[in-house]
Amino acid sequence: MLKKILVALDRSEMGQQVFGQALALAKLTQANLLLLHVLSPEEEGSPYLPMLSNVDYYPGFSGRSFELYQKQWDKFEDESLKMLQSFSAQANTAQIPTEFTQMLGNPGRTICKLAANWGADLIVIGRRGRSGLAELFLGSVSNYVMHHVSCSVYIVHYPTSLQNPEKVVETTSVAN
């Protein structure tokens, strides 16, 4: 029986679908949820780190660039935290015990480490469907997690139909 479900979220529409699936599972199994967002420069929508190679040519440019980056990063962090608070409130309203955390790091490794430390029975995570060279160069967090944890993994797949982009294909993978 599931008692602890770790939900790996990002700020995309996919994150909303992942949360919805996890909430439905928690309702069915009366499991606790731990919502996780990993702050990572690789996440879609995160601010870009300023180039520091122009310091010699444009004195003062790097300082202003870094200040702008820091403001954008702080905004990104705050918006992500608000997303977690909103999802947590929805789960609590549905009588599902829920906590949340936001951590800085490599998404795959961070998810695996938290799952082990918290004693998760299941991880719910999204998959965008990268394969081939895209997966080789950009990586696949869900693939990494699936191969590096000892608990089950429930993968919510990104929509594959161009005719109906709102519909999430409800194919799942469970691995031990």
The percent of residues above 70 in pLDDT, for the chain, comes to: 75
Q: What are phi and psi of 127, to 5 degrees?
A: -140, 125
Domains of the chain: 4-44+81-157 (3.40.50.620)
| Residue 27 contacts residue 145 (beta carbons within 8 Å) | no
pTM over 0.75: yes
| Residue 102 contacts residue 15 (beta carbons within 8 Å) | no
Q: How confident is the model over 99-146, as pLDDT tens digits?
A: 999 999 999 999 999 999 999 999 999 987 555 544 444 458 888 999
Q: Is 136 helix (H, G, I), strand (E, B) or coil?
A: helix
Q: How confident is the model over 127-136, as pLDDT tens digits?
A: 875 555 444 4
